[in-house]
Amino acid sequence: MIHTFASNGHRLVVDVNSGSISELDEISYALLEFAGEDMTRVLPQKAGERLAARYGVNALREAWEELFALKEDGRLFSPDVYAAYRNAGDMAPVKSMCLNVAHDCNLRCSYCFASTGDFGGGRKLMPFSVGKQAVDFLLEHAGNRRNLELDFFGGEPMMNFDVVKEVVAYGREAEQKAGKHIRFTTTTNALVLDDEKIDFINREMYNVVLSIDGRQSVHDRMRRRIDGSGSYQTILANIKRLVERREHRNYYVRGTFTHENLDFAEDVLALADEGFKEISVEPVILPEGHPLALRKDDLPHIFAEYDRLALEMIRRAKAGNGFNFFHFMIDMEHGPCAIKLLRGCGCGNEYVAVTPEGDIYPCHQFVGDRAFRMGNVCNGQFDQAMKNTFSKANIFTKKDCADCWAKFYCSGGCNANNSAYAGNILTPLDISCALERKRVECALMIKAALAE
C-alpha cells in the first residue's frame, strides 16, 4: 500500500508497510499511477502511450528504473510484515499510570471532558493512603518492566500538592526495593504554581504538560476561574517562570482549539512568540451538537490552518527561530516499536488511571464511566477480562483502519474518544481520522522542505 500527495511543491509517496518516505520528481510521480506490487523493470506500455508525448520515452524509462529500484529496496509496495505482531503485547505488564490526585479544579474550562474537574462524581482529593496503594499496584503489575511512568493528573493536581510530594517520596523508596525506576510527570493548569511547586516539579518531574490556550482572548474565553474572570496573565507568567528554571527542557505547553477558534494557527504562533519551543494545540473532542464541537464542514478550514502553520514553521526554522509542534513531530528514522505502532498508548492494558477512591479505569478519559471500571487498588481487584479486551484493540481489530494509509501513525486513534463518540473502542472517530491524515501529510512535507 502506498499514499501519494503533493504539498508546497513537494511530491511525496509514503510506503505504508515499510514507513519509507520518498520525494519524487514530476515524471516519477506521474508514473506511480502505473506502478504496483507486481511491477517489473519494463516500462508499462500504457504508461508510454499516455505520457511519452509529455516527457519522452527515454525520460520515462529512466524514471521507471528509479521507481523499480525503490521497490526492490523495499521502499515501495513493501509486504505487510506486521501481521506477525497481531497478538504481540496481549496482557502486557502495566507500565504507566495516570494518578488522578484531584477530582477538583480551580478553573471552569468550557470544553472540559472531565466535567470541570470532578468527572461527574463530586469534588474530592486523593488521600496519601490511596496514592501509596496505587504505587504498590503499579510495581506489582509491572512484571519485568523496569522503567515505569506515573503522571499526576486531575482536575488540577497541584490542589493536592502535599499528597503529590508524599507519593513521590514513597515512590522513590519503593522503586529501589522493587528494582524499578519510576519517571514522574504531571499536567497542570499552572494557576497556583509558586516557587516551591516550581522547584519541586523541576526537580522530580521528568516531563510536565502546561495548559494554556494560546492568545489571551481565546484563553480567557475558554479557561475561566471559578468567579468567571480570566486566568491568562497569571498562568502565562507562572509557566514562563517554570520553563525558564527548567532550562526549556522536557515540557510542552498544551492548548485546545474549538469551533470558535478555527484560526488556531494564530494560537500556536502566539505561544511560539512568547518563547515556547514545545507546543501542542489540539482539537477539542465533544459530542455532536455541542456549540464548541468541531464539525465536518469545519475540516476544510482546519486543513488550511494546518497548511498555513506548516509553512510558517518552515520559514521560522530556516530563519533560526523554529519550534516543535506536537502533531507535526514524526520520527521517521527511529519510530516506535512494532507493538506501539499497532496499539498506540496501550490504555487498559499497559496504561491505567486511578481515581481518588482508588478505582481503576483504562485511562483518564474513561474515568467516571462505570461500565469501564476495572477494579480498585485498595482491594486488589483488577478486571483481567477487560484488560484482555483492551489488549486486543489494534489496527487489525479496528476494521476501519485496514485500508488507511496513516494507520501506523495513529494506531487506530484514541480508544476513549472512539467509545464516547463513535460508540465502540474499535470504531475510530471519523473527524479525528481526517485530522490525523492531514497532520501527517504536513509533517512529512515539513521534513522534505527542511531537508533541502
pLDDT tens-digit readout, 48-94? 999 999 999 999 999 999 999 999 999 999 998 887 777 655 778 99
Supply the range of the domain harboring residue 118.
87-451
202 and 141 in one domain? yes
347 and 319 in one domain? yes
The per-residue pLDDT for 12 is 96
111 and 70 in one domain? no
Separation CA 273–CA 216 (nearest Å): 13
The per-residue pLDDT for 423 is 87
The overall average pLDDT reported for the chain is: 94
> Per-residue pLDDT averaged across 315-332, rounded?
92
Cα-based distances in Å from 408 to 330, 332, 437, 442:
11, 12, 11, 16
> Per-residue pLDDT averaged across 317-344, rounded?
80
48 and 104 in one domain? no
93 and 60 in one domain? no
**What is the reported pTM?**
0.92
List the beta bridge partners of residue 23.
Answer: 12
Q: Of the candidates 56, 78, 100, which is a domain's last residue?
A: 78
Q: Is the pLDDT of residue 385 over 80?
A: yes
177 and 49 in one domain? no
> Per-residue pLDDT averaged across 354-370, rounded?
96
134 and 57 in one domain? no
The per-residue pLDDT for 335 is 56
96 and 73 in one domain? no
42 and 133 in one domain? no
Domain count, the chain: 2
103 and 195 in one domain? yes
The per-residue pLDDT for 307 is 97
CATH number for the domain that contains residue 199: 3.20.20.70
The per-residue pLDDT for 344 is 80
> What is the band of 425 on the pLDDT scale with cuts at 50, 70, 90?
very high
> What is the band of 452 on the pLDDT scale with cuts at 50, 70, 90?
confident
Separation CA 159–CA 82 (nearest Å): 44
The per-residue pLDDT for 224 is 96
With beta carbons less than 8 A apart as the criterion, state whether 154 and 211 touch: no
Give tens-digit pLDDT for 110-157: 999 988 899 999 999 999 999 999 999 999 999 999 999 999 999 999
Long-range pairs for 295-304 at CB < 8 Å and ≥24 separation? Answer: 295/259, 296/430, 296/431, 298/259, 298/262, 299/431, 299/434, 299/435, 301/262, 302/262, 302/264, 302/435, 302/438, 303/438
207 and 105 in one domain? yes
> What is the band of 370 on the pLDDT scale with cuts at 50, 70, 90?
very high
Separation CA 395–CA 342 (nearest Å): 6
DSSP 149-181: EEEEESS-GGGGHHHHHHHHHHHHHHHHHHT-E
131 and 36 in one domain? no
Q: Is the pLDDT of residue 331 over 90?
A: no
> Per-residue pLDDT averaged across 404-431, rounded?
90
The per-residue pLDDT for 257 is 97
Q: Of the candidates 34, 57, 78, which is a domain's last residue?
A: 78
Q: Of the candidates 27, 46, 78, which is a domain's last residue?
A: 78
